């Protein structure tokens, strides 16, 4: 389950200084099942970004910085809040238990809506009592850090297939639209960023700022920051990290976020570390292998949650049951082992998690 955190206060960040210049990380790409058309779509020209001093300053001058994380599958009984609250202490949400105990029963079919026992599988539908914003249409803008797009399999291909699928229309009930083609893939960007083995969320903010100031801001863009294999990311001042190499701090697989920069305004983004690792990858075997399907499942999860709860937790979240308090559309449909079953999304079969539907009071892959 993901975890909601909110910090509506001015949030100055401490810039991490690296003690030596780092080269681009040399990566060996673990082969996935990629056809020629997929490979071509992942090698289209991208905008080259250069993070500069202005981006560094902007990352330390933010407000309304909100984060919702996807924990590793070994820490699913807790909710964490990696950002500091106004008092400076870490805010910790109530524990979450028994959320996935019958998840396999809720996925009795990969082509039809699961058969759910009355009154439905989950104790809480999603609610939006604050009438928080939703994303009615947007471009997804991938940002590839220190590696080519193919280092993550076929993320742009997956996003294109998602936009052309019936699966994306699970969001219709939450955004109030049924039209096709609302969530297209826009321009991609690449950046060479100095990395040893870890980044902070401040570094992520710098990268996002460098892209958004050129491509666009507001609810019409969702930036997806892809981090290469071997690179960790942690929240400043905490031990909450994506760190497969260090299980003591390995608490999340990915997160989605929104932030307001003082100079360019509001920006939505997700952070997509390398997912083909124990604790984050989908159960194998899967149709496209661990790299492509694990990347696609988490990318799907974060995209659906950004659409329905772009400024967490002010949008569609579970509120009527304490065990799942604050859970979003993707959280309610995770299984402990990240095993789901394959289904067609657009023009390709993937193994990704379904999403929660108020219409069916359970998990679905069709509207």
pLDDT of res. 335? 79
37, 226 contact by CB (below 8 A): no
Mean local confidence (pLDDT), 67-86:
60
Token pair of 153 as six digits: 């399999």
Mean local confidence (pLDDT), 140-147:
97
pLDDT of res. 325? 87
Rounded Cα distance, 271 and 203, in Å: 11
Distances in whole angstroms, Cα of residue 1 to Cα of each of 4, 116, 296, 333: 10, 20, 17, 8
Spatial neighbors of 14 by CB under 8 A, at least 6 apart, are: 60, 202, 236, 237
The model scores a pTM over 0.95: no
What digits encode the pLDDT tens for the residues 13-63?
332 222 222 222 233 333 356 665 565 567 665 899 999 999 999 999 999
Could you tell me the pLDDT band of residue 340, with boundaries at 50, 70 and 90? confident
Selected residue with higher pLDDT from 192 and 41: 192
**In b/e form, how buried is each residue of 213-231, taking b as 16+ CB within 10 angstroms?**
bebbbebebbbbbbbbbbb
Selected residue with higher pLDDT from 103 and 138: 138
Q: Tell me the pLDDT of the chain averaged across its residues.
A: 80
- When mean pLDDT is compared over 152-161, 336-345, 354-363, the highest value belongs to 152-161
pLDDT of res. 37? 59
What digits encode the pLDDT tens for the residues 216-232?
999 999 999 999 999 99
């Amino acid at each position: 389950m993901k975890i909601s955190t909110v910090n509506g206060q001015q949030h100055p960040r401490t810039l991490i200084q690296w003690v030596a210049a780092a080269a681009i990380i040399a990566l060996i790409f673990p082969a996935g099942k990629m056809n020629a058309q997929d490979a071509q779509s992942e090698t289209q020209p991208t905008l080259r970004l250069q993070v500069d001093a202005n981006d560094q300053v902007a990352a330390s001058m933010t407000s309304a910085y909100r984060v919702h994380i996807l924990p590793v599958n070994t820490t699913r009984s807790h909710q964490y809040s990696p950002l500091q609250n106004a008092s400076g202490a870490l805010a910790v949400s109530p524990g979450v238990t028994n959320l996935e105990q019958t998840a396999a029963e809720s996925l009795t079919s990969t082509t039809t809506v699961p058969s759910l026992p009355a009154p439905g599988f989950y104790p809480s539908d999603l609610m939006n009592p604050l009438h928080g914003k939703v994303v009615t249409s947007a471009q997804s803008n991938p940002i590839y850090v220190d590696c080519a797009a193919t280092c993550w399999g076929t993320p742009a291909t997956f996003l294109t297939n998602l936009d052309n699928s019936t699966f994306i229309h699970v969001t219709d009930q939450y955004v109030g639209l049924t039209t096709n083609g609302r969530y297209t893939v826009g321009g991609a960007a690449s950046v060479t960023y100095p990395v040893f083995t870890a980044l902070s969320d401040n570094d992520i903010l710098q990268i996002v700022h460098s892209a958004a100031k050129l491509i666009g801001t507001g609810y019409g863009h969702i930036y997806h920051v892809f981090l290469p294999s071997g690179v960790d990311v942690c929240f400043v001042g905490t031990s909450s990290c994506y760190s497969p190499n260090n299980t003591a701090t390995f608490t999340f697989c990915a997160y989605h976020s929104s932030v307001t920069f003082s100079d360019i305004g509001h920006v939505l983004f997700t952070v997509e570390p390398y997912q083909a690792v124990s604790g984050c990858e989908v159960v194998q075997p899967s149709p496209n292998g661990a790299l492509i399907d694990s990347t696609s499942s988490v990318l799907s999860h974060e995209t659906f949650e950004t659409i329905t709860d772009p400024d967490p937790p002010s949008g569609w979240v579970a509120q009527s049951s304490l065990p799942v308090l604050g859970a979003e559309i993707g959280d309610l449909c995770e299984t402990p082992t990240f095993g789901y079953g394959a289904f067609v999304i657009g023009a390709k079969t993937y193994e990704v998690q379904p999403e929660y539907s108020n219409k069916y009071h359970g998990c679905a892959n069709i509207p």
